[in-house]
Amino acid sequence: MFKYVMKRVCYAFLTILLLIAITFIMMHTAPGNPFSSNKATSQAIMDAKFARYGLDKPLYQQFFIYIGNVLQGDLGTSIKYNRPVTTIIGESFPVSFELGIRAIIISIVGGIGLGAYAAIRRGKAADTIAMTVAIIGVSVPSFIVAALLQYFVALKLNQAAGTVIFPISGWHNEMAKMLPSFALGLSSLATISRLMRTSMLDVMNSDYIKTAKAKGLSERTIVWKHAMRNAVMPVITVLGPLTASILTGAFVVEQVFSVPGMGKYFVISITERDYTMIAGTTVFYGAFLIIMTLLVDLAYGVIDPRVKLAES
């Protein structure tokens, strides 16, 4: 186990190094520079700015200096905002993280519930309704879902009620956090519920459930004590990739609902050629995703004793 974790950590480290290298090369290849603007600036000022951010050195030097700084926990200063990248990430990441966690909770609880319910009521109206919801969730892009939710659920509801029930945008209070989290979690909710339904159907048809039924256990006991536990297993395997997709998808939802999260920096820093910010967000996101995947894999090994990690 320990050996396996160490091995994975080593790969994670290599991946991040490679990621920095790729990012470095790509962002410096992209045409334009962080300081270009609509109005021309004198060459002397440009030179001074390049020197100020250490961009006047050869690329390989910048790379090694950067790696050294990253190891010391210093991600540099954002060129666009002129504030330390770590400060910006420190402000915005918790927001994105909370949004992501809420979305994941919604998608797991909602998805498992919906999927299991549909499986138990297989072929009945409830099944159809639940699966229709799931299908819509998978097939509508999140930016459309977000915009429609904001207009129809927030604005129209508020106007009908004559008071603010769901704030339109922002991240200021509990109600404001509901719609963005839901918009972000919907597609994962749909994926999980479909998976859960299939897996639940499998389990419900298995011999041990038939035995339990034959023994005269109540439906409730069968579902909750026997079926659910085993049916949930496949869902756990997709949590890793889902977490990644939720985190990257956050940008869209954050933009529509003006949530002060990190997704914005992720995209805008690239279009603005904010080199330090690009590298900083990439390193951070990359590391975060890799750690998350690792944790999910480990969790899977712990929950399901049949899985032997070292051999996979």
Partner 1 sequence: MKKRNKKAIIPTANVNEIAYACDEVLSADDFTWVGADVDKSNTIVRESVSYFKDAMHRLFQDKVAVFLVVMLGIILFCAVVMPMISPYTFNELHSDHTNQGFFFTAPDGHMHIFGTDSLGGDTWTRLWHGGRISLTIAFVAVGINCIIGIIYGGISGYFGGMVDNIMMRIVEIIGGIPYLLVIILLMTIMTKGIGTIIIAYAMVGWVGMARLVRGQVIQLKEQEFIISAQTMGAGSFRILLKHLVPNTLSVIIVNLTLAIPSAIFTEAYLSFIGLGVPIPQASWGTLANDGITVFRYYPEQLMLPALLISLTMLGFNLLGDKLRDAFDPKLRR
Partner 2 sequence: MKMAKLGKLALSFSLGLTLLAGCGGSGGTTSGGEVTINLGSEPPEMNSFLNTDSTSGNVLRHVIVGLTTLDQNDEAAPGVAESWTTSEDGLTYTFKLRADAKWNNGDVITANDFVFAWNQLFSTYNGADYASTWAVMFEGAEELMAATQTEEDAKSEAGQAAYANVGWKALDDSTLEVKFTGPYPYALSVLAFYNLAPISEKLYNEYGGIDYYGKEADKMAYNGPYTVTQWVHEDSLVMEKNPNYWDADSINIEKINCRMIKDTGAALNEFENGTIDMIGLNGEQAKDYRAKGENVQSFDDGSIWYLEFNTKRAGMNNAKVRKALTLGVDVEQYVANVVLNESKPAQSFTATSVNGGEFSEKVGTVWNRSNDYTEAKKLLEEGLAEEGLTLDTFKPVLVGDVGDTGKKTYQFVQEQLKKNLGVTMEIDQVEFKTRLQRMSDGDFDIVWAGWSCDYNDPMSYLDLWITDGGNNHGKWSNAEYDALIKAAYMEKDVEKRTQELLDAEKIIAEEVPIGPMYYRQKDYICSDKLVGVQRTAFREIDLRFASVK
Binding interface with partner 2 (CB under 8 A)? 30-33, 35-42, 44-45, 47-49, 51-52, 77, 80-83, 88, 91-92, 98, 102, 105-106, 109-110, 113, 125-126, 129, 147, 150-151, 154-155, 158-159, 164, 167-174, 176-178, 181, 255-258, 260, 264, 271-273
Identify the H or E element spanning 224.
none
Contact flag: residue 267 with partner 1 (CB under 8 A):
yes
* DSSP, res 53: T
Where do the H-state alpha helices sit in 257-307? 263-271, 275-303
User: Which part of the chain contacts partner 1 (CB under 8 A), choosing from 9-17, 109-117, 205-213, 219-227?
Assistant: 9-17
Whose Cβ is closer to partner 1: residue 135's or residue 303's? 135
**∠ CA 261-265-270, rounded to 5°:** 160
Both tokens of 139, joined, read: 């097939």
Residue 75 DSSP class: -
Helices (H) and strands (E) in the chain, counts: 13, 0
> Which one of partner 1, partner 2, none is in contact with 214 (Cβ closer than 5 to 8 A by kind)?
none
Among 92, 289, 296, 297, binds partner 1 (CB under 8 A): 289
* CB of 254 vs partner 2, minimal distance in Å: 9
Q: Report DSSP state, residue 42.
A: -
Map residue 77 onto helix, strand or coil: strand
Question: Cα(289)–Cα(301) distance, rounded to whole angstroms?
Answer: 19
Taking CB within 5 to 8 Å according to partner kind, which of partner 2, partner 1, none is near residue 212?
none
Nearer to partner 2, 33 or 206 (CB): 33
Structure tokens at 73: 């926990």
Q: What residues are paired with 77 via a beta bridge?
A: 84
- Using CB under 8 A, list all residues that contact partner 1: 11-12, 14-16, 18-19, 22-23, 26-27, 29-31, 135-136, 138-141, 143-144, 147-148, 151, 194, 244, 248-249, 251-252, 266-267, 270-271, 278, 282, 285-286, 289-290, 293
